[in-house]
Amino acid sequence: MGLGGEGEAWYVVGKDLSRNTLLVERGDLHPALYADTLVANQFTWIDTPPASFPYSCRAKVRYRQEDQPCTLFPIENGAATISFDTPQRAITPGQSVVFYQGDICLGGGIIQSAGPSYYTQKKTLANFAIH
């Protein structure tokens, strides 16, 4: 593929299976790596699920990530949309999204899909403190 060498790392940002194409971009701050929504399913709750929606809490999509403010929208047909206050890097289908209220783990679900990337939406990351 001719990728590598000096400079910023390359990241997979998509796949086009019909064309057998892997989409990559350079740099960990590329807008194609960020989205602020996801769809999850297969929820498991530690105690009981939220009583009403939309439900504000905090969540993480990666191990050791700081909890991020989000809103959980109604679960319909076993799936729900989660909207984050700030863009999230590398939302990955098949991984977990875990919900928290303070130090209490509420439960979680399996990420089905990431929302549209900031690149697709023609949004910039300039207004956010991304770590």
Tell me the pLDDT of the chain averaged across its residues.
92
Cβ neighbours of residue 4 closer than 8 Å, sequence gap 6 or more: 10
Domains of the chain: 35-114 (2.40.30.10)
* Consecutive H or E run containing 60: strand 55-60
Report whether pLDDT(128) > 80: no
Q: What is the pLDDT of residue 28?
A: 86
Question: Prior bond to 87 cis, omega within 30?
Answer: no
Token pair belonging to 71? 């809103």
Task: Give me the DSSP letters along 68-81.
Answer: EEEEEPPPBTTEEE
For residues 32 and 50, is the Cβ–Cβ distance under 8 A? no
Going by C-alpha positions, the residue among 58, 40, 38 that lies closest to residue 109 is 40
What mean pLDDT is predicted for residues 49-72? 94
Cross-strand bridge partners of residue 72: 55, 82
Per-residue pLDDT tens digits for 70-108? 999 998 999 999 999 999 999 999 999 999 999 999 999
Q: Which residue has the tokens 């403190």?
A: 129
Backbone φ, ψ for residue 122 (5° rounding): 60, 40
Confidence of residue 131 (pLDDT cuts 50, 70, 90): low
Q: What is the pLDDT of residue 92?
A: 93
